[in-house]
Every structure is written in structure tokens, then in C-alpha cells.
Amino acid sequence: MPLRFAKATDEAYRYPLTIRHLLDRALTTSADQEIVYRDQYRFTYREFVQRVGRLSSLLSSLGAEEGMTISVMDWDSHRYLEAYFSIPMMGAVLQTVNVRLPIDQLLYTLVKTKPGLLLIHRDFFPFLDEIRQAVPGLKAIIAIMDGTGEPAPAWAAGDYEPLIAAADPDFDFKDFDENAIATTFFTTGTTGNPKGVCFSHRQLVLHTLALCGHSGDTRHRGFGVDDVYMPLTPMFHVHAWGMPYIATMLGLKQVYPGRYDADMICRLRTEHRVTYSHGVPTVLQMVIAAADRTGTDLSGWMMVVGGSSLTPVLFEEARRRGMEIIGAYGMSETAPILTVTRRSPGSEPGAADESHLLTRAGVPIPLVEARIVDEDMNPLPKDGRSRGELVVRAPWLTPCYVGDEQGSKALWRGGWLHTQDIATIDGNGNVTICDRLKDVIKSGGEWIDSIQLEGIVATADGVDEAAVVAVPDDHWGERPLAVIVAAPGATVTLGTLNRPIEAAIEGGAITRYAKLDRFIAVSELPRTSVGKIDKKTLRARFGSAQAEGSAATEPRAT
Amino acid sequence: MPLRFAKATDEAYRYPLTIRHLLDRALTTSADQEIVYRDQYRFTYREFVQRVGRLSSLLSSLGAEEGMTISVMDWDSHRYLEAYFSIPMMGAVLQTVNVRLPIDQLLYTLVKTKPGLLLIHRDFFPFLDEIRQAVPGLKAIIAIMDGTGEPAPAWAAGDYEPLIAAADPDFDFKDFDENAIATTFFTTGTTGNPKGVCFSHRQLVLHTLALCGHSGDTRHRGFGVDDVYMPLTPMFHVHAWGMPYIATMLGLKQVYPGRYDADMICRLRTEHRVTYSHGVPTVLQMVIAAADRTGTDLSGWMMVVGGSSLTPVLFEEARRRGMEIIGAYGMSETAPILTVTRRSPGSEPGAADESHLLTRAGVPIPLVEARIVDEDMNPLPKDGRSRGELVVRAPWLTPCYVGDEQGSKALWRGGWLHTQDIATIDGNGNVTICDRLKDVIKSGGEWIDSIQLEGIVATADGVDEAAVVAVPDDHWGERPLAVIVAAPGATVTLGTLNRPIEAAIEGGAITRYAKLDRFIAVSELPRTSVGKIDKKTLRARFGSAQAEGSAATEPRAT
């Protein structure tokens, strides 16, 4: 047996990795630093810590207790940040409700967690009857009137701000087991109902430390003392990638934008000189468009982009406006960050491989062990060519899907978390996601990378957006179907779509089986609640498509 | 009770914070990166990990087992780095023996830990008989012939390098409780025998992560992918401040200098373009002198300086040669880093307060909670003026002095670790160490800051080095005694010493009680094994001194 601290003094402080301790340092370094909500509220960290105490006193007076789930339905706000700390610090479980889910699925998540208390923004009051029916055990509801000046409805315990103002700032936060669950939320499943994941205090503290540690390693600008932080990933979505916890631990100025409104985001960026944000490619696109429209200067704004793959085109658009862009990769199940991009060791900004490297998944952050494996879990070489499923270990991965034993077992088959992504890893640790395990197209015995093919199709003349899914084919097993949104006034044919594909085949970048023999033009691509292209819907809708430019009109890629 | 992961799947990997996992990422990102020892050895990380396995196989074949203490007596080398990982990874305890201790104290530390195995460099063979007498339970001794080509003596199991070469690289490292003790070593006590401290796997991993996290926050250059690391703090001294663990986790190129030799250090700096080191002020001084002598370019070399206070003069000397210098503060009891300096938020390099801020103790790194308290443990304001004892909490503080119940209780009085340093903390979290609790001079009811006074005396004409200690005084309780080393050929009098002190009194920088009424000139100041001025010896030697320029010849500072 290894030695233990059997002889530690009783007096020695046994420091638990609980969320409470993320606040310790900020109060020392940044008591007068500010946290801002739109143009409505500004607080110092000194006040923020008091408000966290006030919220706990309030929740406690409404019947909160250790182990109770307390659900929040709100936009990105100081309130959400207060809940990120206050609810777990009391020993309760914060449920961050995905307010973009279809109402049936949203209700499903509440039925599963059985919250005792609910904080709800007025935008979601229309769902209140259904929610109360679905969760009869609710002890109280706090209404968020969001500075409208309207009184809280009669069914509510009151409006958030006046309730907080009246509550006691001194709440006696106690130490407890760091393995207590801090948060829970649901992934937007691609099949069936959403799946619940959960994370302990220890896990969230370790994710915070490791991600923060990576920031020093990258030779990017890092994330630290002079940054002004504004999340552009919804706070219900995997703790806004964990970044609010880092920003608070470091005591940085923080700006919360509320419900996303591109003009407001540009105004906040300018007024507070925001320097550090993160979001999905769609949000980056939205920010660029709004900035162009409003004449907002974007230079020096660092954005971590993840959630779906970042195209080199969008990367360059952002860079041309002076933004610094890095890619990152993770999942709801992984708290979420697993990898963050960085330049090649020894390379300078602007090096030739930069846009290639910075738009990949990145290298594992500290304490992340990453492998690619075959179907029998045999590790494959990290040579940048071999493809296999990416499996990972790290101290912050969800231990289960809540209440789903079979799903949990599949997630953790063989003691590694299965990402269900097909990837390569090169000698410098750069992970490149090739495809979702279930999105990969198997045609004539060859694997066609649907994401790569999508990227190529998107460069064809007259194409605004493109998705590629597999459709069944008697002869080939599966064939790729391109679903495109054409630019206004453009004429798109199989011939125009195949032009860049043929060039890529010529150059050896993709298999000749990728040449299209069918496509469909639509006015809009379906997206999931987090903005990803919804391939499940595409497959359901077009799964048997021969469609425009069908196999009959053009030769197959043989 | 907060919720637990009662329903986690059995398959889910429960990641323990053990030292083994610091290697996971490096093998992915840096398998071909190098670790260098002087001009003798170079290995890739791939080989390094194999050598860690080989060392464990070797130790195991010599009788190592979980919980056994294994002691190392070596200079800074790849061997030491291998021991940093291999020994704790087996579940054994690494004792890093302070080879600069007087032999009696060194033997004392071995008697206390009762090692089962010993690795010893040939430079220490002269002590071998005494060691074997003091530690009769030694199962085997590995000799380190250090590339001399000489065979290992007959009493040894063999020479390190050939033994490693013959050992099995595949050692089956198992997961175990992260609270197992990983390392132990002894502080150079200022009174009585050295005191043993110990650190668990969990503590060292968290120290590594938090210190790494701080590096992203500072707006200094950070410590990361393009750095080449070389320790200049002995590896027996608090894990070389924990930096080898960070460098290895990040997969950086590492250079180990062996026994410190200023010319060799300059050669290694140039040959490998070393960019990141750390050491006490004396080492920085030595490096600068050697570089001036050998014409070595120091520009762009970052050095973290701690261990004793860094004077603005030395700081500027280093900066003039293009080095980047930051201060840090910690103790053997704290693993060791508690604070690292940084520029003021919003300030640019070269700002007016920079040399002032960067030569202080710094701001708490993530997860460090720091307070200053009065004798009854009441917190004092963080206003930059109030002085009190600095007490801390962090997840990596030693839980006890090994086998010293009373000392352990005093260390942790009131649930906070007592640094025994008198400090101020300002509104940005900058900690400034004013004095050791026991070095502070209480004169006529006023506290005189001995470190501040030392700094002023050192600027007097003709003074090369200065120390100030309290001596008893019937009238004043205590009076400061300056012990100085005069520059060659210089004449030093109380009058010349008091000239800068009077200016400081005039400017309100120090109390008028600080004016000297006695001093002693010596040819050399006594130092402890880690290079700090040994005030204990000074007090013992001169405690009753009236000495040169005694009270009779000059008026008292009244």
C-alpha cells in the first residue's frame, strides 16, 4: 500500500476541489473588477460574491437543500453566472435547461431531473403551464423580469433582482465532498430523446485548471489579466464551454450579452473593448456580418471556435478583420474541452500551415489522454493518416448518461469514453476530426469523409452552404448526397458541383468515389438547437433521394 | 447530502490525480521532443517514458515496493527527472536528499526516512560508510558514475546507465489512491534539526496544473510550446519548484545542467537556446557574471527568481542584458509556489511600477487563498499598508512536519498554514514580504523591516553585500546590527552607511529608528545550503555585538 497522510495534523486544511474555491483568488486580485450585463447592470467582484451569497440565502428560504436539482431557464446573464456558483456551492445541482429544445424535449428533461426550484426568464412564461404540469413537485418559481419594470406574476415567489436585493449576503457555505454533483444538462441527441450528463465539483474545477493551463502553452495570446471576456456560446450549453469559470477564477472583467442580438454584441464589444469570446462558426459568421453592417472594429478580438467544423474560408474572413481565431473540440459528455488548436512548435504567426492547423480540433489539453482505435479497441498509429474512432480519458468526463444504463455502457466501452468521431492524430498531437462515426459514407468499400466532401462542395460556384449525407444505394452500398443552398440567382448543376471535387480527386486529396452523382437544392439547411447542421433530419428527409441531377443524368464516379 | 455518482457506470474511468498521468499528453504531443543532459546524453520523450519504465523495473528487481522510501543523492540530471516520475509512479516515496546539508544533518534526514534503496552520485561516495551505518536497512545502492567510464564500486548494485539499459522498459504501472505520498524532503531549518515535509500525488498534480494555469494569466510570455527549459534550482530543493513536472506535462525540450558550473550553464544556454529557467538571486548573479566573462548572449531568457528577495538593482542588471525576470514566492512547506509576480492589469512592458511589482512576491496563483492576520488570526485589510503574518490555504500544502506533532500543529494553527512571513497585500492581490516574523526588529515600540533596511544599506558607498539582524538592547529592546561585506579597498563608516538611510528616513520610506548605531564588517556572509543569508548564524555570532562604530561613537537614532 502506498503511504497515506495518516499522520497529518487535524488542523491541516484538507482542500476540496469545490466550485466555491474558484472564488478565493478573484476576491484577492480583482475585488474592484467589474461584471457587466448588457447596458443594465454592473457589479464589482466584491458585490458579485455577495450576490452569490444572497442567491443562496434566497434559494434556501424557498426550500432549497443539498442534492436538490434547481433549474435555470435564462439567456446569458450575470444571473446565470451567479447560479453557476451559488447553486453548486450550496450542495444543490444546477440544471442548465436548453431553452432552444422543442418544448416536448424540454419538458422531458425537466421530468427526468425533477427540479425543486425553477428560475425562469419572462420569455419562457408561455411554457409555464406545461412545465408546472410536468413537474408537480416544484416548491417555488423565481421570475426573471429582466429590467422591464413589470411586476412578477402572482404564481412566482417574486422577481429575481428585488428578491436578491432583499436577501442576506452572508450564507454559510460549507466544505463537502468534491465528488458531489454540481451540474446536469441534456445533450441534443441525434437519435431519440436528449441524454442527461452530469459533472461533479471536482470535475469542473479540474476542467477549469487544465484549460487555463493550456492557455499558457499555446503561444497564442493566452487568456488572462488584461482580457475582457464575453461568452457567445449559450450558458445552458456545457457551462458555456467552462469559460465563465476560468474568467471568474482569474478575476477578469466579464460582459454578459443576454439574448443574442448581433447589434447589441457589437455595441458591447466596442464599449467594453471585449477581447476574448467563443462560439460556433454560425455565431462568428453573424458577428462578422453585423460588424460589417455597423462598422464595428473587430481587430484584436480572440475567438475560440468549436461545436462544428470551422472552414478555412470563414477563418480567413475573420482574420482579414483582425480577429484571432483558434479552434477547439469537445462534447457535452466531456465538460466540454478536449483539444485546442495551436501553431506548430517553432512556427511564427502567419506560417503556411497555420490556417490548416488552427481550423482542426487541436492538441489534447493537459491531462487529456487521446487515442484512435479500431472497432476492437486496438490503438492505431498517431501518424496523421490512420483513421479510427477517437476515444479519451480525462478527469472531467461524465461518468454516465443519467438513468440510461445501456447508453452509459456504450459510452464507456472498454474504459474509454467513445466520442463517436473518426479522427487522425499526427506526431505533434494534432487531432483532426474526419467524420462522425455515423456520418461516414461507405461506398464501394471506400470510406468517404462527408465533412471533407462538404467543404469541397461549399467552394463550388454558386453554392452558399452545403451538407453531405449518405443515402442507400443498391450497387455501392451507400452514395453521397449533396444538399446545397444556392446563392441568389445562381445556377447549380452536377457539373458545377463536381468541378472542385474532380480537382481534389486529381490532387489526391479525396477518393474518386466522392464524385457526386446526385444533389438536392434547398432554401435552408435544417439545424439543431446548437446550430449544427441536422444530418439526422436530412437523412430522414432525403434518405431515398435520387433527386435533381440523379444518377440517370450523369455518369457514376467509377 | 449532495448527490454522488452512485449510478456511474462500472466502465467509466475514475481518473486519479497521479503523477503517472502527467506523462499522458506529452507522449501524444511531443514523442520526438528532446531531453538533454549536459553534453553527455540526449533522449526523446518516447525514450524517456521507456527509461521511466526501465528504472521502475530495476528498482523493483532490487526490492522496491509500494510505500518504501527511495532516496536520491544527485545533481540536476535526466536521472533525477526519471526518479521524479518512476519512483512515485510505482507507489514508492521519492526522497530528494539535500546534498548541501552538513553531513550530520544529511544523515539525520536519512535516519528519519529509513530508505530501502539509494541512488548516489560518485561525488558523495566519501559519505557512504557513514550513510550505511546510519541506514542499516538499505537493500541496495545504485551508483551514479556519471559517464566517467569507471566501473561501479563492488558495494553497489551497479552503475545507473548500464543498469537502466539492461532493465525492462515495460513496467505495469497501476492506478492507486491519489492521496498516496509521492515525495518527501527536509527543509533547512533555521533552528534545530531539518524538518521533513511530504506531498501526495494529488498535491503535486494540482500544483503543476495551477502554476501552469497562472502562466497564461500573467501577460508575461507564459511557459509553453516553444520554450526550452533548464532548471537552475537544485532538484533536491522542493522539486526544483515543480517546474520539471510542468515542462514534462507540456512536452517541452528540457536541458539538465548537472552540478552547477557557470561556464557549462552558459554553453548549454547558447547551444540549446534555453529560454526558461528559475533560481535564487545568487544564481542569477552567477549567470550574469559568467555571461559577461564568456560573452554569452542572455537576451530573451526568462528567469523566475525566488528563494530570497530580488533587489531592484539585480533586476535591472538582468534586464539590461535582455533577460525577462519575474519574481515568485513560496516555501518548502508549500510545494513551493504560492505567488508569482505580474505587471499591473492594463500596463505595458516597461511601465513605471514594473521593477517594483516584479521584484515583490507576486499575486496568488489559482486556488491559493492568502490572508494577512494579526496574532489572534483576525484578517487584516488588503490595503497595501496593513502588515500581518501571511497565512495560506491551497490544495498542495504539506499536511505536517513528518514525526513532529508539535511543529505540525504550530504550522497549521487555526486551519491555515503559517508562513511566518510578515507581509502586506494590496488591492490587486500583490503580496509584499516585509520580513520574517522572527527577523523583524522591534525597537522602541516600532517595527523595523530588516529586509528593507538591508536593501538600503546595500546601496551605501563601498558596500558589496549587507545583512541586518536584531541584537538585544537594554534601552530599546532590540536594535538593528548591519553586517556588511566591504568592496575591495573601500572604507566604510557608520556615517557612510547612514547616508542612504537618512535619505530614506527623510523621504518617509522607513522609520527613523532604523538609523544605525552599530555595524560589523566581515569578509563573507554565512549562507544556508540553499544560498540564503544565514541570519541564525549571524545572530548567534554577533548577538551581543557593540562592534565597530559602536553606540558610543555615534548618536542614536532618536
Instruction: Answer yes or no: do B421 and B471 share one domain.
Output: no
Strand A117-121 to strand A158-159: parallel, antiparallel, or no bridges (unpaired)?
unpaired
Instruction: Indicate whether B13 belongs to any domain.
Output: no
Phi, psi for B467 (deg, rounded to 5): -130, 150
Instruction: Answer yes or no: do B410 and B467 share one domain.
Output: no
Task: Kindly name the residue from A18, A113, A183, A187 that is annotated as catalytic.
Answer: A187
Instruction: Answer yes or no: do B230 and B337 share one domain.
Output: yes
Q: Indicate if A553 belongs to the active site.
A: no
- Alpha-carbon gap, residue A458 to A484, rounded angstroms: 8
- Alpha-carbon gap, residue A495 to A517, rounded angstroms: 10
Find the helix or strand (DSSP H, E) in which A328 lies: strand A324-330
Instruction: Indicate whether A508 belongs to any domain.
Output: yes
Instruction: Answer yes or no: do B386 and B446 share one domain.
Output: no
Query: Measuring CA to CA, how many Å separate A515 from each of A198, A438, A480, B524?
Result: 43, 20, 8, 82
pLDDT, residue B7, reads 58
Instruction: Indicate whether A550 belongs to any domain.
Output: no
Instruction: Indicate whether B10 belongs to any domain.
Output: no
Q: For the stretch A121-143, what's the b/e string if a residue is b when 16 or more beta carbons lie within 10 angstroms of its beta carbon?
A: bbebbebbeebeebbeebbbbbb
Instruction: Answer yes or no: do B227 and B120 share one domain.
Output: yes
Task: Kindly name the residue from B114, B139, B442, B532 that is annotated as catalytic.
Answer: B442
Residues 390-429 on A with a CB inside 8 Å of B are 393-395, 397, 399-400, 402-403, 405, 408-409, 411-417, 425, 427-429
Shortest distance, CA B209 to any CA of chain A (angstroms): 6
Instruction: Indicate whether A233 belongs to any domain.
Output: yes
pLDDT, residue B8, reads 65
Q: Indicate if A447 belongs to the active site.
A: yes
Instruction: Answer yes or no: do A103 and A220 share one domain.
Output: yes
- Flag if B215 and A214 touch (Cβ within 8 Å): no
From A379, A397, A425, the end of a domain falls on: A425
Cell of A450: 462527408
Q: For the stretch A49-64, what's the b/e string if a residue is b when 16 or more beta carbons lie within 10 angstroms of its beta carbon?
A: bbbbbbbbbbbbebeb
- Alpha-carbon gap, residue A309 to A284, rounded angstroms: 12
**Residues 6+ away with beta carbon under 8 Å from A352:** none
Domain count, chain A: 2
Interhelix angle for B281-294 vs B312-320, to 10°?
Answer: 30
Residues 435-474 on A with a CB inside 8 Å of B are none
Instruction: Answer yes or no: do A47 and A146 share one domain.
Output: yes
From B391, B425, B459, the end of a domain falls on: B425
pLDDT, residue B545, reads 55
Instruction: Answer yes or no: do A420 and A526 share one domain.
Output: no
Q: Indicate if B341 belongs to the active site.
A: no
**Residues 6+ away with beta carbon under 8 Å from B324:** B220, B221, B300, B301, B302, B303
Cell of B237: 530543493
Q: Which of B213, B393, B397 has its CB closest to that of A209?
A: B213
Q: Which of B205, B211, B225, B341 would you mutate first to test chain A, the one with the most A CBs within 10 A?
A: B225
Task: Let me know: does B171 contact B53? Beta carbons within 8 Å.
Answer: yes
Instruction: Answer yes or no: do B144 and B249 share one domain.
Output: yes
**Residues 6+ away with beta carbon under 8 Å from A372:** A379, A380, A382, A386, A387, A388, A389, A390, A391, A423, A424, A425
pTM, full prediction: 0.86
Q: Indicate if B253 belongs to the active site.
A: no
Instruction: Indicate whether B371 belongs to any domain.
Output: yes
Assess A25–B contact: CB distance below 8 Å, yes or no: yes
State the virtual CA torsion across B212, B215, B217, B218 in degrees, nearest 10: 160
Instruction: Indicate whether B7 belongs to any domain.
Output: no
Q: What is the DSSP letter of A441?
A: E
Give the 3-state DSSP-derived string for A423-439, with helices as H, strands as E and coil as C.
EEECCCCCEEEEEECCC
- Alpha-carbon gap, residue B379 to B374, rounded angstroms: 7
Give the three-state DSSP class for A350: coil
Give the residue from chain B lying closest to A181, CA to CA: B3
Helices first, then strands: H and E counts in chain B: 17, 25
Phi, psi for A82 (deg, rounded to 5): -60, -40
Q: What is the DSSP letter of A309?
A: P
Task: Kindly name the residue from A324, A333, A389, A454 that is annotated as catalytic.
Answer: A333
Which chain A residues touch B66 with a CB distance below 8 Å? 1-2
- Residues of chain A whose pLDDT is less than 50? 1-2, 5-6, 547-558
**Residue in this structure with the C-alpha cell 450575470, named with its chain if needed:** A78
Q: Which of A10, A14, A29, A371 would you mutate first to test chain B, the one with the most B CBs within 10 A?
A: A29
**Residues 6+ away with beta carbon under 8 Å from B106:** B97, B98, B99, B127
- Residues of chain B whose pLDDT is less than 70? 1-8, 189-192, 215-221, 445-446, 530, 544-558
- Alpha-carbon gap, residue B510 to B503, rounded angstroms: 9
pLDDT, residue B555, reads 27
Query: Measuring CA to CA, how many Å separate A113 from each of A120, A234, A334, A453?
Result: 16, 20, 20, 40
Instruction: Answer yes or no: do A366 and A482 share one domain.
Output: no
Q: How do residues A258-297 score in pLDDT, each as one tens digit? A: 999 999 999 999 999 999 999 998 899 999 999 999 999 9
Assess B6–A contact: CB distance below 8 Å, yes or no: no
- Flag if A414 and B11 touch (Cβ within 8 Å): yes
Cell of B255: 536541458
Assess A359–B contact: CB distance below 8 Å, yes or no: no
Assess B304–A contact: CB distance below 8 Å, yes or no: no
- Nearest CA to A497 out of A514, A509, A511, A513 is that of A514
Give the residue from chain A lying closest to B25, CA to CA: A369
**Residue in this structure with the C-alpha cell 558495494, named with its chain if needed:** B155
- Flag if A363 and B29 touch (Cβ within 8 Å): yes
- Flag if A408 and B9 touch (Cβ within 8 Å): yes
Task: Let me know: does B386 contact B456? Beta carbons within 8 Å.
Answer: no
Q: Which of B12, B249, B369 has its CB closest to that of A24?
A: B369
> Could you list the residue range(s) of the whole structural domain that residue B53 is in?
19-425
Task: Let me know: does A377 contact A449? Beta carbons within 8 Å.
Answer: no
CATH number at residue A327: 3.40.50.12780
pLDDT, residue B556, reads 29
Instruction: Answer yes or no: do B84 and B221 share one domain.
Output: yes
pLDDT, residue A346, reads 75
- Alpha-carbon gap, residue A459 to A500, rounded angstroms: 7
Task: Let me know: does B420 contact B535? Beta carbons within 8 Å.
Answer: no
- Flag if B11 and A177 touch (Cβ within 8 Å): no
- Flag if B425 and A28 touch (Cβ within 8 Å): yes
Instruction: Answer yes or no: do A328 and A238 share one domain.
Output: yes
Cell of A95: 440544471
Residues 522-541 on B with a CB inside 8 Å of A are none
Q: Which of B24, B177, B412 has its CB closest to that of A12?
A: B412
Instruction: Indicate whether A248 belongs to any domain.
Output: yes
- Alpha-carbon gap, residue B410 to B469, rounded angstroms: 24
Assess B112–A contact: CB distance below 8 Å, yes or no: no
CATH number at residue B533: 3.30.300.30
Task: Let me know: does A520 contact A480? Beta carbons within 8 Å.
Answer: no
- Flag if B219 and A226 touch (Cβ within 8 Å): yes
